[in-house]
Structure 1
Amino acid sequence: MQAGELTREEADICRKFAQDGYVVIPGLIDPETADAAWLDYVTIWQESNPFNLPAQPDKFDPTWGRTGNVHKWVMGMHGLLHHPKIVNLIDLLLGKPCIPYQTIPSFYGSEQPAHSDAIHMTTFPLGFLAAAWIALEDIHPDSGPLVFYPGSHKLPYLLSEAAGIGIGDHKRLGRRVYIEKYEKMVQDLIRTKELKPSFFTANKGDVLIWHHNLLHGGSPVNNPEITRKSLVCHYFAEGVLCYHDLDNALADIANNGDYIGIVKEELATEENFDEQAYLLANRDVAEAVKNGIIPSGYSHFQSFGKSEGRKLRVDLKTQN
């Protein structure tokens, strides 16, 4: 193959991802690496417990052990998030270099209702996030395997506004508004579009990579005695705006896995001026700051931006 061309295997992977919204790579992670990462997690939990987890796993609580951004404490999980085989595939599928961002481990099946990552980890333009679900043991059908809906990534993106969730509603009203509005609309979509579920009963080391908009969740746990050890990793593409649509918060790429500030113009005022948001909205100013022409976005806003009518936040009204 000439430089810049895809191998036949890479072309098949891209074609599958575009058509169905996901691709499975059997045995991408060797079993020894998977075992070592999980042992590292359990050891740190038992010895120092930075996650503040109870001393014993709770098999009747599907959320138990789903520690956000476990890679910040556990080097084995950090290694999986940054595993070159996964990162290279995500780069290929996104068409841009990726930024490893967030991790969530699971001891047991999550039973999480179907959703798309787009409302939680949003990009502008849309579509520049992918996730990798890594099986850290053989996944039993009764453990509550990952469930996903092939082809659902082709549906229109369902974000907060379309779901009837106003800016600030989630922070003010809590998870109830998300469950009653967003999750209900997703279930209605699955029913009206007659989407058919698939279940990832994987072998240890198998990896499923899904598209930003693919609907997925956790299927019912039929036997709570059976674990479902796994790690899901999320990746943003470089060079796009990354934010949390539901909470109107910018992704803090420098401290991957966190969110900062606010992003939507409707809440932007001079009193809550956000340097990063202003620079994201005004790329010429960001370039000038980078090159030392002006000291900061705030100084530009005070001297020029206010009179020029510069936006304090990116205008997201053009999102699909």
Structure 2
Amino acid sequence: MTVGYVDVWTDNIISGWAETPGGGTPAEIRVEIDGRYVGSVLADLYRSDLQRNVGYSIDISNFPRGLARKMALRVGGDDLVLRPTGADSAPERATHSLYGGMWIDRDGWRDVLDGKISRGEVDDALAQQLVDFERDGYIIIPGAVDKDLLDRLNRDIEDVWAGKVDGLKIESYSVDIGLLRVVPVDNQYRYGSTKLLDPHLRLSSARYATSAPRVVKFLEAIFEERARAFQQLCFTMGSQQPIHKDTAYVKVDGNPMSMAATWLALEDISEGTGELEYYVGSHRSPDYVFGGISKWMEHSPGQHEDFLDSLHRDAEQLGQKRSKFLGHAGDVLVWHADLAHGGSKITNPGVTRKSLVTHYTAKSHSPFYMRSLNHKQVEVNGVSFTSQYGEINA
């Protein structure tokens, strides 16, 4: 009979030892999350206390906090299952993704919505938005940001590029030499493949625009609590970024799929400027699992190209339509954490595509960077704003 024991089970590491009958071959440790297989290791590490190679160690320090409570180790086939003390019980209803999600991502979500409607928690307009979001992976809120606030934000952004605002950085990519820079704001890079990082760090107008009432109402509906805004990217030109999913790069602790993003049109967007494009319904494609165990690309960077290719394969196999967002100034598109999206090819060079992207999670969750950084947060219109680049100017 296979035997197995756990010595350590934390949010960072799971270790112990296991042995097959007779000890002829190493025991296989199959890792499961909520009952679904995600990977395996062999118990073949040397244990000085046992004087044989029967140890195992699983590093989960780069996984979301709390995931360890959902894990189980199946040792030697189906014979023995090890769980942490205080393990979470099976979820009430399974989410579409192995890596969690919001209530709209769970089986039976429509029954939950009907209950919210009957209790008066959700009005007809919001209910339709939720239905559309669950089906398509995005919604559009026309005129979500009023003209006066939008004009103020655009003036503030111009001041940033004119060198009148300190403390902000840009990320700029030089295609010709393949160089990615993160440097203080420099106007010479503005009209290339450049992102202004976290303008909400210094611009109150960015915080107010991305916490507009109709946007906040929807975010609070999908999170079932207040929202946390933790990353912003401001563009002058189209990014032409390949179609991707945020969940591969933008890391949320506690529940990687409890995330949404907004794309605010800072001007009327015209075709050919590298406008936002996406595969409708792609948030319901199967998980792409890096290294056999993680939603996050950094766990297995060598798979990145295959990951990007898989999004197009999924779209073709599942009949997901490729669509574009040609928004008017003040319009906001809200997308699901797992919607496949990117910047379309620029066919009208020299024409701007001014936009502001913001990533949010539920306030009870945190971006991964908050494990090591604890910068002051500022609340605006019920949204908690934080940045990895410093303290927010209130």
Fold shared per TM-score above 0.5:
yes
Q: 1:80: how far off?
A: 1.9
Q: 1:159: how far off?
A: 4.3
Q: Matched residues in 2 for 1:181 and 1:77: separation? A: 35
Listed one character per residue, the Cα deviations across residues 18-39 of structure 1 (whole Å, up to 9, x for unaligned) are: 1111110111111221121021
Whether the 8 Å contact between 2:163 and 2:185 is mirrored in structure 1 is no
Partner of 1:147: 277
Q: Matched residues in 1 for 2:139 and 2:297: separation? A: 34
Listed one character per residue, the Cα deviations across residues 247-299 of structure 1 (whole Å, up to 9, x for unaligned) are: xx95857563439xxxxxxxxxxxxxxxxxxxxxxxxxxxxxxxxxxxxxxxx
Whether the 8 Å contact between 2:290 and 2:300 is mirrored in structure 1 is no
Whether the 8 Å contact between 2:161 and 2:186 is mirrored in structure 1 is no
Partner of 1:106: 235
Whether the 8 Å contact between 1:27 and 1:207 is mirrored in structure 2 is yes
Whether the 8 Å contact between 1:44 and 1:74 is mirrored in structure 2 is no
Q: 5+ unaligned residues in a row in structure 1: which ranges?
A: 171-176, 260-320
Equivalences, count: 246
Q: Matched residues in 2 for 1:68 and 1:205: separation? A: 20
Root-mean-square deviation (CA), in Å?
2.8
Map 1:122-201 → 2, pairs under 5 A: 122-123=251-252, 124-162=254-292, 170=301, 177=302, 179-201=304-326
The structure in which a higher percent of residues are strand is 2
Find out whether 1:24 has 2:149 as its counterpart.
no
Partner of 1:293: none
Whether the 8 Å contact between 2:297 and 2:304 is mirrored in structure 1 is no
Give me the identity figure in percent: 27
Alignment counterpart, residue 186 of structure 2, candidates 37, 42, 54: 54
Q: 1:166: how far off?
A: 7.8
Q: 1:72: how far off?
A: 0.5
Q: Matched residues in 2 for 1:11 and 1:114: separation? A: 29
Q: Which amino acid aligns with 1:223?
A: N
Distance of aligned partners of 1:167 and 1:7 in 2 relative to their CA distance in 1, 3 Å threshold: closer
Q: Matched residues in 1 for 2:374 and 2:134: separation? A: 26
Q: Matched residues in 2 for 1:228 and 1:25: separation? A: 18
The structure in which a higher percent of residues are helix is 1
Distance of aligned partners of 1:166 and 1:76 in 2 relative to their CA distance in 1, 3 Å threshold: closer
Q: 1:163: how far off?
A: 9.2
Q: Matched residues in 1 for 2:235 and 2:268: separation? A: 13
Report SS of the residue matched to 2:155. helix
Q: 1:189: how far off?
A: 2.7
Partner of 1:15: 131
Q: Which amino acid aligns with 1:10?
A: L
Q: Matched residues in 1 for 2:330 and 2:320: separation? A: 28
Report SS of the residue matched to 1:132. strand
Find out whether 1:84 has 2:209 as its counterpart.
no
Distance of aligned partners of 1:192 and 1:133 in 2 relative to their CA distance in 1, 3 Å threshold: same
Report SS of the residue matched to 1:190. helix
Map 1:281-300 → 2, pairs under 5 A: none
**Superposition TM-score, scaled by structure 1 size:** 0.68
Q: Matched residues in 2 for 1:151 and 1:46: separation? A: 40
Q: 5+ unaligned residues in a row in structure 2: which ranges?
A: 1-116, 170-183, 377-385, 390-394
**Larger CA deviation: 92-101 vs 183-192:** 183-192
Report SS of the residue matched to 1:23. strand
Listed one character per residue, the Cα deviations across residues 28-60 of structure 1 (whole Å, up to 9, x for unaligned) are: 11122112102101112213454323334553x
Report SS of the residue matched to 1:6. coil
Listed one character per residue, the Cα deviations across residues 173-192 of structure 1 (whole Å, up to 9, x for unaligned) are: xxxx4643432333333344
Q: Which amino acid aligns with 2:282?
A: S
